Amino acid sequence: MIHRLSRLVAVAVGLAVVTTACRPGDGEEAAETEAATAATVSAPDTTGAAIWAHLQESDYEANWQMWPDKGSFYTGNQPHGMLLTTYLNDVAYQALTGGATEMPAGAIIVKQNYMPDSTLAAVTTMFKVAGYNADHNDWFFTKHLASGELDKAPNGMELEGRLPGCQNCHVGVQANDYLYTGQLGAGN
């Protein structure tokens, strides 16, 4: 009996070793990355770099919902480009489809701007952060190039933060929490 037990333990240990060996990098490093992912998933900082890292770690194109009824490559307007695909994180998606009248803190909306030939030109995000931007419904804005670099205004300012260019146009739909696409409160 003791014999069989120690064989079982040996098998279990062997399995553990195999499982560990299958992980990319050493086990500890992977665990640290997972912990970091969990932390950023709950609250990326209000910097363009943190948002971009958060999008990559979330693998948003695979894991987030597209804007309901829009799908991929729908037709956009100036200044955003000809073809758009817009993703919502879980917080934003639940709010939109649940009939919320404004986006809660933690909501992230990512819009990809494509050229007419379907090359990705830019990625714009709106991230709702409690207390961040009292004059503009607490939205944090970014615009990245397809490479992941922040885009710049003509004066060299990196496009992250309380961006006048973005919010002065989006304020036109203030009653819809600055969102042009879809109708909040309708449970789309």
As a whole number of angstroms, the distance between CA 64 and CA 89 comes to 5
Nearer residue to ligand HEC within complex by CB, 136 or 143 = 143
As a whole number of angstroms, the distance between CA 125 and CA 142 comes to 5
Min. distance of Cβ 23 from ligand HEC in angstroms?
35
User: What is the Cα 187 distance to its own chain's centre?
Assistant: 21
Min. distance of Cβ 38 from ligand HEC in angstroms?
25
Nearer residue to ligand HEC within complex by CB, 57 or 158 = 158
Assigned token pair, 152: 């710049």
- Contact present, 41 and 63 (Cβ < 8 Å): no
Among 100, 81, 79, residue whose Cα is nearest residue 188: 100
As a residue count, the chain comes to: 188
Assigned token pair, 66: 């597209």
Nearer residue to ligand HEC within complex by CB, 31 or 169 = 169
Q: What is the largest CA-CA distance in the chain?
A: 78
The footprint of ligand HEC (CB under 6 A) covers 76-77, 79-80, 84, 86, 109, 111, 124-126, 141, 143, 159, 163, 165-166, 169-170, 179-181
Min. distance of Cβ 73 from ligand HEC in angstroms?
12
Min. distance of Cβ 32 from ligand HEC in angstroms?
31
Nearer residue to ligand HEC within complex by CB, 31 or 157 = 157
